[in-house]
Chain A
Amino acid sequence: MKIKYLRTSSVVALACVALVATACSSSKSSAGGNGIPSGPIKIGAIYSLSGSFAAFGPSQRATGQAAIDQINADGGISGHQVALDVKDDKSTPDGAVSAAQALVSDKVSMFAYFGTSPQTLQAGPVLNKAGIPAITLLTDATFEDGTKWPYIYNDYSDAKQGVYPYAPFLQSKGVTKVVSINDTTPGSATFSGYANAAVKAAGIDVVKSVSFDPTAVDLTTQVQQLKAAGTDWLLANNVVGFGPLYNALRATGWHPNILETTAAYYDSSGALGNFAPTTWAGCNVGVAPGKSLPANVTKVLAAATAKLGHMQPDLLVSVASAYDALLIYKYAVEKAGSTSGKDVVKVLDTIKNQSFSNPDWTFTFTPDNHLGWVASNNHICTVTPLDKYGTPTIVDAK
């Protein structure tokens, strides 16, 4: 009786082991490696679709979906289709945390975007702790230290890199002194610090700096102060208030050469009028005269523009970061043969001077430094005119 019971138990136990083993093996596909679960690969993205940053969310979502569609059209990742799982951070820190937790629960394999600053600061630790790789646009340097944030990668220029082309551009124009203006938002104040320091380091004197409140309707007093400084080069380091700035320049009759932030594409560029020929902006990405973007990048731009229903100035920035994030992830997964976070980041940390969507945009990641974008990728562009997809023209191409 006892022997029969033991035999029966052994058979049941063996059957269980066999069943578990079968279940485990069936959860792995042979499509591209035994570390990739069957079915579509879920990509998480957190956009600000409501609240104070909601102006940014829809274009980012359109770009993210267009990039996903393009990856799928090109065969997916290791033969797996890719699906975008979107959550709204409601433009709040707690909304960002909830969205990140929801996507972790959804078992996404990778984050292609996790919110507009400052929400990134809240969402980042959640997904880093979950061990899910995130490859995304991050303008501040918080997560660039790979030893502290092993799963977070920045695939676009941060604010400090954004000023890289400033000094060479001004020197090429023979500029020896400039004045600067910024608004009092944290982003503008930080950028202004970087920009003014970079041009000073190049021997260009910043003779006067003024600032303005983002809600100001009249900037004539500030502009008169700048005009009196005796230079015809203005660094517009503001991220809002371009309309009032152009109004004040016209009211005071001052017509300087202007070098602006990338925000200039989005804010009142239609008011430039006769300032346009002498106004440039740090565009980071654009198209050099006589050149064109790679076909796949243009396809993503066109699809995103169609989803938005209108031309969005400087949309290429979103495309560059979203599409490259997916291509970088695809490369890492296919090389690792796995979607496991640990396996993927091992490959990501070996990427060196490699380009993905565009041969002109190169990336280098190391285990210590997760800012993969190379500063020399950045450029100065005209602010207007833009092409039909809102892409500016590079003016400092080598």
Chain B
Amino acid sequence: MSSLSLLPDAIVAGLCTGSVYGLVALGYNITYNATGVFNLAQGDLVMVGLMLTWVAVSIFKLPYLVAFLGVVVIVSLISLVEERFVVRPFLVRREANIGWFISTLGFSIMIEAIALIWFGNHPIVPIPSFLPASGFSILGTLFVPRELLVLGALIVLSVGFEFFFKRTRLGLTMQATAEDRQAAGLRGVNPIRVGQIGFLLGGLIAGVAGFVVAPLVSTSISVGLSYSVKGFVALAIGGFGNLRAGVIAALLLGVAESVFTLFVGADYEIAVGLVILLVVLGLKPTGVSRSFAARQV
């Protein structure tokens, strides 16, 4: 079997890997669109969702639907705590408005440290799934249900949030608040409430991502940082704040890595995303889609 004949399989595998990056990028964009903050703990919130899935399914033996709801609720609440104690103190002070960069990074490190204390001393164990492990073939190309679930989750969430931000009053209000908190406040919008909703939704996405990714990666607490990095690269390629572009960039990043691994090898796979990012930023510094709006004064 030649490498070329495996190209369709590599593309499908890359789409599934890219879906994981896409869910992280989507989470970044949701909080960014609501608050103007890049939540650098987004990848670690996915890791929390993953570990909670293991606790719910393997330890407490909860039904999958109950486990799913529990994981999403808990991760969303953790994200809300982050908004209250890690992000909001910086958003309300105009003179220190990028302090969140360090504080969200600190929150991410704190999450990893706690996960290490709780789970780090245990062997990595598999996390069961309600979907079968075996794949199926269509026209000679392999599809794996557990991985298609990640792609499906990404499509549903991106379409849903695209609609939310473009067609609902709350979504438009959130974007306006991110652009200018003071102006939004003067027009009767509560920017604190908007920030809470943004982080709640970011946590919801991380919870969903953790649940669907869990059976693919086992109880590995080291995935948080790599997901944060890959999601951020996708976001930078697509352009900050554009949900659709971020998701498409993530999928392309996954495919590019997979195809590179097939034809060249995995040794320099990590460089693929960074090379694409450099090329894109060299040609268009704001990313493929984003154009900075001039602020009216």
In the bound complex, do residue A266 and residue B123 qualify as a contact, i.e. CB atoms below 8 Å apart? yes
Known: A184-B269, A215-B230. A220 touches B144 (CB 8 A): yes
Quick check: is A331 within 8 A (CB to CB) of the other chain?
no
Which of B32-40, B75-83, B180-188, B210-218 contacts the other chain?
Answer: B210-218
CB-nearest residue of chain A to B1: A228
Contacts of A194 in B (CB 8 A): none
CB-nearest residue of chain A to B13: A218
Say which residue of A213, A221, A244, A313 sits within 8 Å of B217 (CB atoms): A244
Write out, one digit per residue, whether chain A residues 43-56 have a CB within 8 A of any chain B CB (1) or not (0).
Answer: 00000001010110
Which chain B residues in 181-231 approach chain A with CB under 8 Å?
A: 213, 215-218, 220-223, 226-227, 230
Known: A55-B116, A220-B135, A224-B9. A213 touches B218 (CB 8 A): no
CB of A50, distance to nearest CB on chain B (Å):
7
Known: A267-B218, A269-B123. A220 touches B9 (CB 8 A): yes
Quick check: is B237 within 8 A (CB to CB) of the other chain?
no
CB-nearest residue of chain A to B119: A55
Quick check: is A312 within 8 A (CB to CB) of the other chain?
yes
Quick check: is A366 within 8 A (CB to CB) of the other chain?
no
Which chain B residues in 1-40 approach chain A with CB under 8 Å?
A: 1, 3, 6, 9-10, 13-14, 16-17, 20
CB of A88, distance to nearest CB on chain B (Å):
13
Contacts of B270 in A (CB 8 A): 213
In the bound complex, do residue B133 and residue A221 qualify as a contact, i.e. CB atoms below 8 Å apart? no
A215, A225, A247, A250 pick with most chain B CB within 10 angstroms: A215
> Once the chains are docked, how many angstroms separate the CA of A210 from the CA of B269?
13
Contacts of B226 in A (CB 8 A): 214-215
> Once the chains are docked, how many angstroms separate the CA of A269 from the CA of B144?
21
Q: How many residues of A contact B (CB 8 A)?
A: 45
Say which residue of A210, A228, A252 sits within 8 Å of B135 (CB atoms): A252
Interface residues on B, range: 35 or more
B1, B230, B257 pick with most chain A CB within 10 angstroms: B1
Quick check: is A294 within 8 A (CB to CB) of the other chain?
no
In the bound complex, do residue A244 and residue B125 qualify as a contact, i.e. CB atoms below 8 Å apart? no
Contacts of A240 in B (CB 8 A): 220
Say which residue of B133, B142, B217, B267 sits within 8 Å of A217 (CB atoms): B217
CB-nearest residue of chain B to A189: B267
In the bound complex, do residue A213 and residue B261 qualify as a contact, i.e. CB atoms below 8 Å apart? yes
CB-nearest residue of chain A to B142: A220
Write out, one digit per residue, whether chain A residues 194-232 have a CB within 8 A of any chain B CB (1) or not (0).
Answer: 000000000000000011111111101110110010000
In the bound complex, do residue B126 and residue A271 qualify as a contact, i.e. CB atoms below 8 Å apart? yes
Quick check: is B106 within 8 A (CB to CB) of the other chain?
no
Quick check: is A293 within 8 A (CB to CB) of the other chain?
no
In the bound complex, do residue A215 and residue B223 qualify as a contact, i.e. CB atoms below 8 Å apart? yes
Quick check: is B121 within 8 A (CB to CB) of the other chain?
yes
Extra contacts, 10 of them, besides A55-B221, A225-B6 (Cβ < 8 A), are A213-B261, A217-B147, A218-B13, A220-B144, A228-B1, A242-B218, A243-B126, A243-B220, A247-B216, A271-B218
